[in-house]
Structure 1
Amino acid sequence: MYLIAIGWMYVVVMMAVAEATSRNGTVLGAIFTFLLYGVVPLALLMYIMGTPARKKAIRAREMAEQRERETAASGEPDRGGEPAADPVAPMRKEP
């Protein structure tokens, strides 16, 4: 995805340079060439191509929040994975 963007920006920069340095071209025309052929379409393309990644991140965040709510609602401890230990060792009487 980024390789296409880099290649396209190279082409657009070369078009803008050609516009600015040509006898009939202007710097203002080069700026508009850069913006209208490069920045705006590329921003739109990157936004569209990034949609699946954004949806996946939103879904993962919602699942984590749901798991957190379920753990908090169950009333159980944090389930840290450690076995329960007795705070005080039991005393044994000698016979």
Structure 2
Amino acid sequence: MWIIAIGWIYVVALMAATESTVIAGIMTFFGYCVLPMSLLFYLTGGKKRRARRQAQAAAHKDKDDAAPED
């Protein structure tokens, strides 16, 4: 997936470089690259975030179980 993302960034950077003004180039880059790619990586990373959250909760629970009670 990373190679596709890098290729897409390259294509969009070339598209942005051919725009008539700098502002149009920046808007093209953000509209076609930054926003869609960030949404894509957020949506595809959901399982990793959930697993990390569960691992942290389990570690926190183990830590609480191991603590001596006064």
Over the aligned positions, Cα root-mean-square deviation in angstroms equals 1.4
**TM-score, structure 2 as length reference:** 0.85
Q: Distance in 2 between matches of 1:2 and 1:68?
A: 37
Gaps of 5+ in 2: none
List gaps (5 residues or longer) in structure 1: 20-24, 76-95
Deviation of the 1:70 alpha carbon: 1.4
Share of identical aligned residues, percent? 41
Instruction: Name the structure with the higher helix share.
Output: 2
Q: Highest Rg: 1 or 2?
A: 1
Q: Which runs of 4+ in 1 moved over 4 A?
A: none
Is 1:37 the counterpart of 2:7? The answer is no
Which of structures 1 and 2 has the larger relative contact order (alpha carbons within 8 angstroms, sep 6+)?
2
Q: Which residue does the alignment assign to 2:9?
A: 9
TM-score, normalised via structure 1 length: 0.65
